[in-house]
Amino acid sequence: MSSEKTPIPAGSNFIRAIIEKDLSQNKYATKKWAGSPGDAAHQDTGVVDVAKIRTRFPPEPNGYLHIGHAKSIFLNFGLARDFDGICHLRFDDTNPEKESQEYVDSISDAVKWLGFGWDNTSETNLYFASNYFDLMYRAAESLIETGHAYVDEQSADEMRINRGTLTEAGKDSPYRSRSVADNLARFREMRDGKHADGSMVLRAKIDMASPNINMRDPAIYRVRRAHHHNTGDQWCIYPMYTFAHPIEDALERITHSICTLEFEDQRPFYDWLLERLAEAGLLAHPLPKQYEFARLNLTYVVLSKRKLIQLVEEKHVSGWDDPRLPTLAGARRRGYTPAGFKLFTDRIGVSKADSWIEYSILEDCMREVLNTDAERRIAVLDPIKLVIDNYPLDSDGKSQSEDCFAPNHPLKPELGKRTVQLTKELWIEREDFMETPSKGFFRLTPGGMVRLRYGYVVKCTGCEKDADGNVTVVHCEYLPDTKSGTPGSDSVKVKGNIHWVSVAHAYEAEVRLYDRLFKEAHPGEGDRDFLADINQDSVKVIKTQLELSLKDAKAEESFQFERHGYFVADKKDSVAGKPVFNRTVTLRDAWQK
Ligand code: ATP
Ligand code: MG
């Protein structure tokens, strides 16, 4: 056999490589699954699991999902899809304090929006960790019974001091050698509400001298009188995350438990705990294994739930779905698409080393996807009137109107062309006219010629101004033989090509021009308050003149506004026949220096 390593194919990553190896070794070939989460006895009543692997996405319902979570969603659900497996959506709701139904709903919506679900052929894989409180409690008693846990009554300060440091071993608690019967009685008292919050904890009994501080008798249950959104006041003790999470994985028969790097030091406890519970017969082999990958860090945004909550609660933004926020609800309103996120996660890959990803990479991905997917439309964002003085009037004195044909998508001729009306009075962009042109300006200027896109070549004859010298109307004359798409139309060569909308056929609409919420790549870096880095010009609301067909845009429909960028009909503020548009991303990156 060759000793050469098999190269990992493109689009692959170290986690895929692990799964491929596990499957080739039939590691899970006899794993049983009873159709629902449960202990060893329950799973033993089942059949060999049809899911080749099981992964899970385990958000805590204490906030909205953000772009970092999208990476985890594509990874976990994507792996399950690619390897004939199943990915569970599990609400990790074992912490009673900050969780709510609003968060549960928004998380479910975001997962579905990205194209994933939990209704599989034979079962529905949507779980709440709080439904396992009974089993977690039994697991804790089992640890006590096997001599692997004890109730500690040291104060929090004593516990911290006796934990030791990176260079110094910890000291055993004076309660560490209590009898099993004593511990069991105390723990039941904790459960029965006989002890005050914070007065004692249940700790795993491992090794106070371990070089890994997480193995120095970690706390696994605490007394906390708090109302839980699912279990109400049934419990006054709650499991610690590091105890609950491995058990949740095992009860759901997860094979590959994928988490972010900060949990690497917890892996020894993860394995220790599950081994002990398997020895006691509570959990079945094969046990889940934890694998860590680098979390997504993105410039120009904050991805910490605490900071996102602060931005929302202190009203620096309009809500969780503010289009400037990196929440998935915000990104969706901004016009970012699931396909764009997919491209992004593929492009950045999965690695074992923390790094920063440039926000412009995400924007490029959205541009790429929208360039392919979005139809083109014409929009005048900063309108000024252009009058074609020699354009014919009808006998009743009104301007004639004629059809011009604009392609819906230059890369997809099969999408055809649509009709836009040309009339004597048009809206054009203010910046497409200059009375005294700067060098290299090839658009409208007195005496100069441009093509009205999909229409005629016009020659500028001058402008009108108000008392302050601001240009109010631009005048021109058209060259009748130059209409786009007619024979000989290009006999007159011009350098400029500008877009326009007929005044009589325009839809006056509100458009929001969004920019980055933070002006610094690393908000709050050093000792700066991240709020001080907020970009005060991150949104501009403007009145625009759009081609009439945009009046019928449906909520969440995306378009390229020619020469401007990609825009989406806002999901929240649009009403039928009166959509408002959000700028998703410009055509080019304006932040690149
Ligand atoms: P916290 O634990 O502070 O509430 P969190 O961001 O870890 O916040 P969770 O709800 O625990 O939020 O996250 C659910 C899953 O998403 C976890 O498996 C976590 O590892 C993953 N995740 C969270 N943030 C990122 C990120 N920036 N990049 C990749 N994955 C992430
Ligand atoms: Mg977390």
Please give the distance, rounded to the nearest whole angstrom, from the Cα atom of residue 242 to the centre of ligand 1. 14
Nearest ligand to the CA of 68 is 1
Indicate the top mutation candidate among 57, 60, 69 to test ligand 1's pocket, ranked by most ligand atoms within 8 A of CB. 69
Beta bridge partners of 444: 433
Q: Which amino acid is at 204?
A: A
Pick from 503, 514, 494: nearest CA to 568: 514
Q: Is the pLDDT of residue 11 over 80?
A: no
Please give the distance, rounded to the nearest whole angstrom, from the Cα atom of residue 103 to the centre of ligand 1. 14
pLDDT digits (tens, 9 = 90+) for 347-396: 999 999 888 999 999 999 999 999 999 999 999 999 999 999 999 998 88
Contacts 24+ apart (CB under 8 A), 482-487: 482/451, 482/456, 482/457, 483/404, 483/455, 483/456, 484/404, 484/405, 484/451, 484/453, 484/454, 484/455, 484/456, 485/405, 485/454
Please give the distance, rounded to the nearest whole angstrom, from the Cα atom of residue 403 to the centre of ligand 1. 54
CB of 260 closer than 6 angstroms to any ligand 1 atom: yes
Instruction: Report the alpha-carbon distance of residue 223 to residue 200 in Å, rounded.
Output: 7
Residue nearest to atom 18 of ligand 1 (CA): 259
Identified catalytic residue from 32, 188, 222, 295: 295
pLDDT digits (tens, 9 = 90+) for 51-65: 999 999 999 999 999
Complete domains list, the chain, with CATH? 14-133+242-307+334-341 (3.40.50.620), 141-239 (3.90.800.10), 379-499 (2.40.240.10)
Q: Is 176 a catalytic residue?
A: no
CB of 294 closer than 6 angstroms to any ligand 1 atom: no
Residue nearest to atom 14 of ligand 1 (CA): 59
**pLDDT at res. 4:** 45
**pLDDT at res. 456:** 97
CB of 69 closer than 6 angstroms to any ligand 1 atom: yes
Instruction: Report the alpha-carbon distance of residue 36 to residue 563 in Å, rounded.
Output: 54
Angle (deg, nearest 10), helices 101-113 and 67-82: 60
Q: Is 510 a catalytic residue?
A: no
Nearest ligand to the CA of 260 is 1
Please give the distance, rounded to the nearest whole angstrom, from the Cα atom of residue 427 to the centre of ligand 1. 48
From the CB of residue 67, how many other CB atoms can be counted at a distance below 10 Å?
23
Q: Is 305 a catalytic residue?
A: yes
CB of 60 closer than 6 angstroms to any ligand 1 atom: yes
**Distance set, CA 588 to CA 75, 108, 363, 537 (Å):** 29, 33, 9, 19
pLDDT digits (tens, 9 = 90+) for 236-253: 999 999 999 999 999 999
CB of 71 closer than 6 angstroms to any ligand 1 atom: yes
Instruction: Give mean pLDDT, residues 536-540.
Output: 96
CB of 62 closer than 6 angstroms to any ligand 1 atom: yes
Instruction: Report the alpha-carbon distance of residue 370 to residue 558 in Å, rounded.
Output: 8
pLDDT interval class at 2 (50, 70, 90): very low
Angle at 381 (CA atoms; ends 376, 384), nearest 5 degrees: 120
pLDDT digits (tens, 9 = 90+) for 444-502: 999 999 999 999 999 999 999 999 999 999 999 999 999 999 998 888 999 999 999 99
Residue ranges of the alpha helices (H) in 213-266? Answer: 241-251
Identified catalytic residue from 253, 305, 332, 451: 305
Coil, strand or helix: which one is 512?
strand
Instruction: Report the alpha-carbon distance of residue 158 to residue 201 in Å, rounded.
Output: 13
Instruction: Report the alpha-carbon distance of residue 135 to residue 137 in Å, rounded.
Output: 5
Contact 349, 81 (CB under 8 A): no
Helix (H) or strand (E) holding 18: helix 14-24
pLDDT digits (tens, 9 = 90+) for 80-121: 999 999 999 999 999 887 778 899 999 999 999 999 999 998
Q: Is the pLDDT of residue 185 over 80?
A: yes
Please give the distance, rounded to the nearest whole angstrom, from the Cα atom of residue 70 to the centre of ligand 1. 10
Please give the distance, rounded to the nearest whole angstrom, from the Cα atom of residue 356 to the centre of ligand 1. 16
